[in-house]
């Protein structure tokens, strides 16, 4: 089987939730809708305190191109506009809506019976208006990805169904439960970018998903479904492109530069919902798992549901909870606590780890074993970037191509000296980005 | 045999010795004697605070006229005067020796802890995670970037998690001041005893929520200072060290015990 260079094999630990069908979570009493649930310019609120809002109503938008609007996931009244915590750290402005539990849909939300006749531009507009962003966790606005520069002819649309992060099963369940919608979503994307070929990559530890999706895709000869070896980070954009097309995204380049577009399974299904049913992105599948939660589940959660509500519906934390992570264990964001933190468009999982799963080991000196170089999927040398950061030499880190890091976490995972290489590279990236911003001014 | 070996070695020694002696005369590098004199007067810590690669380069640049005679803060005013004498320029005004001072009292007992941070032990890294482990968004993170940056090992992390500065070892190079991501270190005149140990610019109520020793901008010190040396800037008291007479009134009146 074709594969990419490097990568690691962490235990997949998906057994707690992979057989559990998605169950709808209770709508929250107060929905906290952050105005920035995407990479790019934050939204401006379109409603004021005291306004009545309906389900699916657009409540925040931005004029920036790299941005996506946000919608209310409940019907009710805006009680305040305040800050809440955001997954990567820090705070963001958010609209707090008191739920009236009527679930009255907004008049703009209506199915489109003629969706098959829509043009590419009309489809892109629908995707933007529905506030769809990359649902694998990176939350890049999807309509921007679907509008590549005209000089880049897109011939491949790749769908990431690898779900290579340990623990997470939200994409797995989505592929099992809604394979037809996934295929429709992929066909819509192919239409929007004018691609001739659609590929869906699924890791071979999910044979049932491979089977379901292959069956659904049988009608369309342009779509290829392939089982990929189970290896982390199989689902990373650049790695998926390498596996399917043999092309390599250049340093600092985008998938569009090699004629590819990569979308997540969840994003494809959200596009189907938006185009066929007129639904904006107001709910998503979230895997709540880890040995620190009493009842691990896959849940369909309204965007804006406070984490505490979701945890409660899963039987609460176990007393020996040690770490709470939004997303997967490799790339997710550790959280100080569940308070004032809502589920957003990018929340693929809520991981509750106990002291059995989390060990904090002392950082040792680098012995130059080069294991990190061996596993690095983008062929950089994390050990040298790490030591540069340790000495505060960010210029040297830049020379070692710190900016090409995809922050997959393989180096930190494999390092026998337990050196926090990914974290150091992340630091270097933020320093280098700050330096470049200052230089651009 | 032994005699022959001794004679041969002695002869070789003489020949090479003569050659080296000739070469050292012929190819001698002319060093400005001033550079050596200036170099002697510098602190010699190679701290780099002057902006040059080390004391040697700084001495060369001073003699070349590119660096100011007062450029070596660690060496102090006396040395600066002597360097000025060597260079034949006017002696600078008397500068008081400056030492680093921590402007935060948010130790593990006084400041509210938001979360436990177990990532890389670096202040900047800790701040990237949820805005830092302490609830105060101005205070010391306590992971010791200043400790590692100090060229003279004058800073250590105290038991309460805050850096402790040994004023005798501090050479006033200001490297820690530049390194600190929270800017809680400042250079102060060595003779001044009292300092406002807080940089929190929030309103009093918010400060009290996060720290027991933060400046709440009550302005008592401003009103009571007999020298009118204290002013309130961005909700934090600031002492004008030129006016301060070390009387200690502000320390007595401060309800938060922020001024020490």
Residue A303, pLDDT score: 95
Mean pLDDT score of chain B:
88
Tell me, what's the ipTM? Answer: 0.71
pLDDT at B95 over 70: no
| Rg over CA atoms, chain A | 21
Give domain B33-87's CATH number out of 1.10.15.40, 1.10.275.10, 1.10.3210.10, 3.40.50.300: 1.10.15.40
Label residue B16 exposed, middle or buried (CB < 10 Å: 0-12, 13-18, 19+).
Answer: exposed
A420 touches chain B (CB under 8 A): yes
Query: Nearest Cβ partner of A430 from B122, B128, B179?
Result: B128
Q: Cα separation of B45 and A33, whole Å?
A: 55
What's the rounded mean pLDDT across residues B143-149?
91
Residue span(s) of chain B under CATH 3.30.70.20 come to 99-190, 192-260
Residue A105, pLDDT score: 94
A43 DSSP 8-state letter: P
**Neighbouring C-beta atoms of residue A135, cutoff 10 Å:** 26
Beta bridge partners of A300: A24, A285
A340 touches chain B (CB under 8 A): no
Per-residue pLDDT of chain A (441 residues; tens, 9 = 90+): 678 889 999 988 999 999 999 999 999 999 999 999 998 889 999 999 999 999 999 999 999 889 999 999 999 999 999 999 888 877 899 999 999 999 999 998 989 889 999 999 999 999 999 999 999 888 999 999 999 988 889 999 999 999 999 999 999 999 999 999 999 999 999 999 999 999 999 999 999 999 999 999 999 999 999 999 999 999 999 999 999 999 999 998 899 999 999 999 999 999 999 999 999 999 999 999 999 999 999 999 999 999 999 999 999 999 999 899 999 999 998 888 888 999 999 999 999 999 888 888 888 999 999 999 999 999 999 999 999 998 889 999 999 999 999 999 999 999 999 999 999 999 999 899 999 999 988
Q: Which residue has the higher pLDDT, B47 or A379?
A: A379
Contact A363, B143 (CB under 8 A): no
CB contact under 8 A, A335 and B125: no
Query: Nearest Cβ partner of A360 from B118, B124, B125?
Result: B118
Chain B: residue nearest A430 by CA?
B128
CB contact under 8 A, A336 and B124: no
B151 touches chain A (CB under 8 A): no
Contact A167, A331 (CB under 8 A): no
B7-41 tens-digit pLDDT: 999 999 999 999 999 999 888 888 788 888 888 88
What distance in Å separates residue B130's CA from the closest CA in chain A?
4
Give domain B99-190's CATH number out of 3.40.50.1010, 2.40.30.10, 3.30.470.10, 3.30.70.20: 3.30.70.20
Q: Where are the domains of chain A?
A: 115-277, 371-440
A89 touches chain B (CB under 8 A): yes
Write the CATH number of the domain with boundaries B192-260: 3.30.70.20
In B104-130, which positions are buried (b, 16+ CB within 10 angstroms) versus exposed (e)? Answer: bbbbeebbeebbebebbebbbbbbbbb
- Whether cis (ω within 30° of 0) applies to the bond prior to B252 is no
What distance in Å separates residue A426's CA from the closest CA in chain B?
9
* Residue from A423, A430, A435 whose CB has the most chain B CBs within 10 Å, to mutate: A423
Q: Which residues of B touch A392 (CB under 8 A)?
A: 149, 179
A429 touches chain B (CB under 8 A): no
Token pair in block for residue A366: 């680098």
pTM of the model: 0.82
Residue A305, pLDDT score: 96
Write the CATH number of the domain with boundaries A115-277: 3.40.50.11540
Residue B90, pLDDT score: 78
Q: Band of the pLDDT at B94, cuts 50, 70, 90?
A: low
Residue A415, pLDDT score: 95
């Amino acid at each position: 089987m074709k594969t990419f260079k490097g990568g690691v094999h962490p235990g997949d630990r998906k057994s707690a939730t992979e057989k559990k069908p998605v169950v709808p979570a209770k709508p929250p009493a107060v929905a906290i809708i952050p105005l920035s649930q995407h990479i790019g310019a934050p939204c401006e609120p379109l409603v004021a305190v005291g306004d009545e809002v309906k389900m699916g109503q657009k409540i925040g938008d931005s004029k920036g191109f790299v941005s996506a609007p946000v919608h209310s996931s409940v019907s009710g009244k805006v009680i305040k506009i305040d800050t809440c915590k955001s997954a990567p750290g820090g705070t963001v402005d958010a609209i707090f809506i008191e739920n009236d539990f009527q679930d009255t849909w907004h008049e703009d939300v209506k199915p489109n019976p003629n969706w098959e006749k829509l043009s590419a531009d009309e489809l892109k507009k629908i995707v933007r208006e529905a506030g769809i962003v990359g649902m694998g966790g990176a939350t890049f606005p999807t309509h921007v990805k679907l509008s590549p520069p005209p000089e880049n002819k897109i011939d491949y649309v790749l769908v990431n169904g690898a779900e290579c992060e340990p623990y997470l099963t939200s994409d797995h369940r989505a592929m099992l439960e809604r394979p037809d919608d996934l295929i429709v979503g992929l066909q819509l994307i192919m239409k929007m970018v004018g691609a001739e070929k659609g590929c869906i990559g699924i890791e071979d530890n999910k044979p049932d998903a491979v089977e379901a999706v292959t069956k659904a895709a049988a009608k369309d000869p342009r779509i290829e479904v392939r089982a990929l070896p189970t290896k982390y980070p199989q689902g990373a954009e650049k790695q998926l492109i390498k596996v399917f097309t043999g092309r390599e995204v250049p340093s600092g380049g985008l998938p569009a530069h090699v004629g590819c577009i990569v979308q997540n399974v969840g994003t494809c299904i959200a596009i189907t919902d938006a185009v066929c049913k007129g639904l904006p992105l107001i709910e998503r599948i979230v895997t709540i798992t880890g040995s620190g939660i009493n009842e691990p589940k896959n849940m369909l959660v309204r965007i804006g549901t406070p984490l505490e509500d979701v945890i409660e519906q899963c039987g609460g934390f176990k007393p020996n909870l040690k770490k709470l992570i939004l997303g997967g264990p490799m790339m997710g964001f550790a959280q100080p606590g569940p308070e004032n933190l809502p589920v957003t468009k990018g929340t693929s999982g809520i991981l509750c780890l106990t002291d059995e799963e989390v060990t904090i080991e002392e950082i040792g000196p680098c012995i130059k074993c080069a294991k990190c170089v061996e596993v690095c999927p983008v062929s950089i040398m994390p050990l040298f970037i790490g030591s540069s950061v340790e000495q505060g030499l960010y210029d040297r880190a830049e020379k070692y191509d710190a900016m090409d890091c995809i922050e997959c976490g393989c180096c930190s995972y494999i390092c026998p000296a337990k050196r926090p290489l990914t974290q150091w590279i992340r630091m270097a990236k933020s320093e280098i980005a700050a330096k470049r911003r200052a230089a651009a001014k | 045999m032994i005699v022959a070996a001794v004679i041969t070695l002695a002869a070789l020694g003489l020949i090479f010795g003569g050659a080296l002696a000739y070469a050292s005369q012929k190819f001698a590098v002319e060093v400005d004697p001033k550079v050596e004199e200036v170099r002697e007067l510098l602190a010699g810590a190679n701290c780099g605070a002057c902006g040059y690669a080390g004391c040697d380069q700084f001495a060369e640049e001073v003699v070349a006229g590119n660096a100011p005679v007062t450029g070596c803060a660690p060496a102090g005013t006396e040395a600066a005067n002597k360097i000025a004498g060597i260079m034949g320029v006017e002696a600078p005004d008397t500068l008081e020796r400056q030492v680093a001072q921590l402007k935060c009292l948010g130790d593990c007992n006084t400041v509210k802890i938001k979360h436990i941070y177990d990532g890389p032990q670096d202040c900047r890294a800790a701040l990237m995670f949820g805005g830092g482990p302490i609830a105060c968004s101005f205070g010391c993170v306590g992971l010791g970037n200043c400790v590692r940056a100090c060229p003279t090992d004058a800073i250590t992390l105290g038991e309460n998690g805050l850096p402790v500065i040994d004023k005798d070892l501090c050479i006033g190079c200001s490297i820690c001041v530049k390194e600190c991501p929270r800017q809680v270190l400042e250079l102060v005149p060595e003779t001044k005893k009292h300092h406002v140990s807080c940089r929190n610019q929030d309103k009093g109520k918010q400060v009290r929520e996060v720290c027991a020793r933060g400046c709440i901008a009550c302005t008592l010190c401003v009103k009571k200072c007999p020298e009118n040396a204290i002013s309130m800037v961005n909700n934090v008291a600031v002492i004008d060290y030129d006016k301060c007479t070390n009387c200690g009134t502000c320390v007595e009146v401060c309800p938060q015990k922020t001024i020490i």
